[in-house]
Structure 1
């Protein structure tokens, strides 16, 4: 290459849009998505103070079903008004919801109401927004750019469980919610300014008739099934992770620290998937990583867990969850284009929300009725195998690739 040769398209994409990736990384790392890393740390303190059973607390996920039903309409708003505008409006609302949880009285109704508000506002701080921002700027390196935008999740996932555990130990569970609110307000909200780039701040117009047609699209339906049957069981199990680990012989502090292992493996799955799907058929990657997560669930069903065994199990589960982060956005863009990307993402979020809520309730109820999580772990592994098969049903990529 001579000095007069233009840079490659991949390099030019990164030169022009690297700040979008940085802003997305900070936003995702402090948005609602990281709550899943620490949500289980609030179960036992709330049960001790208010007497709420694990099933009663998991019923708050029913609120997430209602919020998930709004996700397609929310996706239309993202496509119309752009990623930056939506994220900038939602981060203060997410912070306010966390502060509301910190001030919550002994009222399940208040808890359910705030847990309804969290995913409703939190959708504006999650992948549906930031994937739209990144995919609008990248074409040659979509998978790698999506993976890089999740770098902050790995850092937050390693540090946040330890930070939250220490905060709860010193200031109580209310302090834990305040910590989450401050991160959203002081880090996530300012980071949305980095999304001010051409093609990111303003979205495209999406017709309602075109959106209705998406509900009949074979690829949309298969992808919804695959992603929801993957994330549903994983989210349900992670939501009870600390009780699962402590109930099998691990100390509470060790169980909290293992959340960092999960976060690191999620990041590893994200990076590996991002690097591979630019070169390898994405459904095959989804199948293999989902099978890995199924093995991790089966490993957690052992009668007792050593630290090393738990690390291995969580690493496999994290690889599966990390893969989903890249796969959903990439496969939507690859099979269906980016014009209605956020709207399609909204449909998948609806499916994920329903599956996650039902699985979360089922996992908690399994313990309350049987005094063990093992049947739920085995059933979760079975659902993950079904999801792996569905990925392979996506078929070949359309040719030529849809770009608009």
Structure 2
């Protein structure tokens, strides 16, 4: 492994660390701990579970806002975008602690956080990485994207304990403080580059309508969009239904919890393996081997196998692939399109991912209502997974950046000492 590979980490570790902190302590942490606040708030305010669950549908507003957020990151740079996001997200967390029980307050704050908070997500912070890393871009992206689940795994029991001992209001205030500190650290670190002002090299001019139309006619973009869509159809099963699915196969709660831990560990391991492979192997080949195997795992679970080893192996395979589509998509977007428009293009791919998760939820609900079993959806998930892996595969081999700005950026990285 060449010295240039590790030199990028030596040069740009502050930027990578800052981006990882920014991604972990922004809106993303909410997905790991929101469910902890639900029972306490429902008990105090008398909300129904249906009222609380309705916030899950607010994600559609975020999908609409994603391209706008991506354009802000391209036009003004990820640091300024993160400043806007972190001016709002910690304030929203603190405002949650002041609610008086009116459900509209909870809805309004969730909408504001979900809309502006997009400026603390992957489309902003992955840009910091792809601007600065070239030879080690895949592994750097994996390091960035792995930080959030690790922080979530640590934060969940801490906030759960705070809710039990000091109450949910104190927990929200603590989350506001943690988010603010994490955001400030991120903004400071992501602005300290030992390179030569790479952000200025790739700052994005306005994308004209002709360019936008051309992008939607671009074969690689459509394949990436299809890959993100199909690979995320099964997401609702992975995030919210895993324990119930395992129970259907005769796995008791204690063993189910162990399998969830195996899954979480495999997610982190899989991301690092995928990132390293992207730097060394053609990304379309990596995509097939990283994203295709879960199809066989879904079929194995649907077959009714109740052997713990079979189910554990299937869950491990699913975990190893979980999130790899984001790594692959971010990598290919940075290689196949101008970095000047990276965040905007990547935001459109994330819209496809979000729509797929929503559609997957509806499809799973329909299949459960009709069959009282997860098997039908598991077979659908297997087909969708194969379709997604093939979409990524047909993007073709390793491609170099297409514009002079990216060539200049690579040259600066190569000359940095």
TM-score, normalised relative to structure 1: 0.82
> What is the CA RMSD across the aligned residues, in angstroms?
3.6
Match of 1:150 among 139, 145, 148: 145
Deviation at 1:226, TM superposition (A): 0.4
Asked if residue 52 in structure 1 is aligned to residue 49 in structure 2, the reply is yes
Contact 2:337 2:401 survives alignment (8 Å): no
Contact 2:274 2:286 survives alignment (8 Å): yes
Deviation at 1:273, TM superposition (A): 0.9
Contact 2:305 2:311 survives alignment (8 Å): no
Residue 20 of structure 2 is matched in structure 1 by 25
Distance 2:271 2:152 in 1: 13
Residue 383 of structure 1 is matched in structure 2 by 384
Matches within 5 A, 1:277-296: 277-296=278-297
Residue 392 of structure 1 is matched in structure 2 by 393
Asked if residue 185 in structure 1 is aligned to residue 180 in structure 2, the reply is yes
Match of 1:162 among 157, 162, 168: 157
Number of aligned pairs?
395
Residue 341 of structure 2 is matched in structure 1 by 340
Distance 2:100 2:247 in 1: 27
Asked if residue 90 in structure 1 is aligned to residue 85 in structure 2, the reply is yes
**Residues 246 and 119 of structure 1: CA distance in aligned 2, closer, same or farther (over 3 Å):** farther
Deviation at 1:374, TM superposition (A): 4.5
Residue 410 of structure 2 is matched in structure 1 by none
**Residues 217 and 105 of structure 1: CA distance in aligned 2, closer, same or farther (over 3 Å):** farther
Unaligned runs of 5+ in 2: 408-417
**Residues 184 and 374 of structure 1: CA distance in aligned 2, closer, same or farther (over 3 Å):** farther
TM-score, normalised relative to structure 2: 0.80
Deviation at 1:131, TM superposition (A): 0.9
Deviation at 1:189, TM superposition (A): 3.5
Matches within 5 A, 1:232-243: 232-235=233-236, 237-241=238-242
Distance 2:393 2:24 in 1: 30
Matches within 5 A, 1:114-263: 114-170=109-165, 180-196=175-191, 197=193, 198-200=197-199, 204-209=203-208, 210-235=211-236, 237-241=238-242, 244=245, 250-251=252-253, 259-263=260-264
**Residues 400 and 96 of structure 1: CA distance in aligned 2, closer, same or farther (over 3 Å):** closer
**Residues 298 and 178 of structure 1: CA distance in aligned 2, closer, same or farther (over 3 Å):** farther
Distance 1:290 1:15 in 2: 31
**Residues 181 and 78 of structure 1: CA distance in aligned 2, closer, same or farther (over 3 Å):** same
**Residues 153 and 104 of structure 1: CA distance in aligned 2, closer, same or farther (over 3 Å):** same
Contact 1:63 1:113 survives alignment (8 Å): no
- The DSSP-based 3-state class of the residue aligned with 1:271 is helix
Residue range with higher mean Cα deviation, 89-98 or 191-200: 89-98
Deviation at 1:377, TM superposition (A): 3.7
Residue 412 of structure 2 is matched in structure 1 by none
Residue range with higher mean Cα deviation, 287-296 or 187-196: 287-296
Contact 1:32 1:118 survives alignment (8 Å): yes
**Residues 344 and 299 of structure 1: CA distance in aligned 2, closer, same or farther (over 3 Å):** same
